[in-house]
Amino acid sequence: MNESISLTESTYYILLSLVTPQHGYGIMQTTERLSGGRVRLAAGTLYGALSALCEKGWIAPLPVSQDSRKKEYQLTDHGLSVLKSELARLRSLVENGDAILKEELK
């Protein structure tokens, strides 16, 4: 089931960073690196977003051992579908922009 929605830049990068399971701090670092420093997530913002994404079923926490305090998250199949849909939407935006502005972009 593909949802026709547009993601915020933060949500897009959180989902993208979870193609490989990570803990919160890793997500923060990956998001900042992938966005070239444009997106910097504060801990409170990140954990609120992770909670919302879990509720939507786009990500899921991995089981943690009792001696670990780090909770890791992974992208679900549904989350991957949402991410792929967003990538297709973004490609379409760029293609449309390129087609209209092709002369101005030279």
Instruction: Give the number of other CB atoms < 10 A from CB of residue 56.
Output: 14
In order of start, what are the domains of the chain with their CATH numbers? 9-101 (1.10.10.10)
How confident is the model at residue 4, as a pLDDT? 67
| The pLDDT of residue 2 is above 80 | no
Closest CA relative to residue 2, chosen from 102, 64, 80, 57: 80
Using DSSP's 3-state secondary structure scheme, residue 36 falls into coil
- pLDDT tens digit string along 20-72? 999 999 999 999 999 999 999 999 999 999 999 999 999 999 988 777 778 89
Contacts (Cβ under 8 Å, ≥6 apart) of 40: 28, 31, 32
- Written as one string, the DSSP assignment of 87-103 is HHHHHHHHHHHHHHHTT
The 10s digit of each residue's pLDDT in 74-94 is: 999 999 999 999 999 999 999
- The model carries a pTM of 0.87
